[in-house]
Amino acid sequence: MHTDLPEEQLRDYRSGLREPADFDQFWADTLADARACDVPVAVTPVTSPLSTVEVSDVTLPGFAGQPVRAWLRRPAGADRPLPTVVQYVGYGGGRGHPLENLLWASAGFAHLQLDTRGQGSGWSRGDTPDPAAAGPEVPGVVTRGIDDPRRYYYRRLYTDAVRAVDAACDLPMVDPDRIAVLGQSQGGGMALAVAALVPRVRALVSHVPFLCDIPRAVLVTDAHPYREIRDYLAVHRDREEQVLHTVGYVDGVAFARRATAPARFSVALMDEIVPPSTVYAAVNEYRGRAELSVWRYNGHEAGGIDDDAAAVEFLRRTLGG
């Protein structure tokens, strides 16, 4: 059922998010430090039974130069640089199996699917640890390091996401002028952040993005993963101000205010995991041209294959064949 604002109010909803004063400098310094780590990208072909898609195992430098895994898939026999989709994964998942997620390569794109540090056992396997110290946290990763923006988990994860685009630009099968970022839920929030942080990104696809308008989300849903923040504050009652300050550095609304690439979003009005108002908060602040699919009778699965089909058409139109 609908548990958020009525649809007519959602269309006009605006977030009251207050960004940290040093938001832009924080991310400029973070990415400069990561890019100063001169670690090469390793690409190893994977033997597979596929005849139409070639798969490679990629290791790229992420936050602090730490190794992050990814799969690179591309149409078999492609002899020129291709428009490229860099994909990020939903909460609890990792890059999965090399034979999974063949849509993008089958549709003619190079496809770099990033692993998710410290996750990848909830519903899809992963291979990348999160070696940073944690401190007190609710099970999951949303509160890992949440008392300090510089130690916060999502600072590391978003940096990995940016560095995946950097790595893609150096691959010979990738056209660096035709790169899109894409994801759903947590992956959609990551893609939105990267679209703001990497100006060369040509297109964004963000389905039901997690981590937007976080202060509101924590108050209006009882579902995980936002529940992790609520549970943390229920114990650490004196840390609300610091926690909200930290998450301000990773909130999708702040990134939406800076991103200009053509974008496609989706929202589901029966979504208990990502409240619809938080998606509208990002869409209504988005600086670039944005289109939105509204799924009135769906939960967090949103449009499913219909979202995928629309995304293929959108990226072909935006990036070219």
Q: List active site positions.
A: 185, 271, 300
Task: Name 110's bridge partners.
Answer: 84
Which helix (H) or strand (E) covers residue 7, if one does?
Answer: helix 7-10
Q: Which amino acid is at 129?
A: P
Q: What is the largest CA-CA distance in the chain?
A: 59
Q: Is the bond preceding 45 in cis, omega lying within 30 degrees of 0?
A: no
Q: Which amino acid is at 35?
A: R
Answer whether 143's CB lies under 8 Å from 137's CB. yes
**130, 168, 170: which is closest to 152 by C-alpha?**
130
Answer whether 293's CB lies under 8 Å from 310's CB. yes
Which helix (H) or strand (E) covers residue 113, if one does?
Answer: strand 110-114
3-state class of 267 per DSSP?
strand
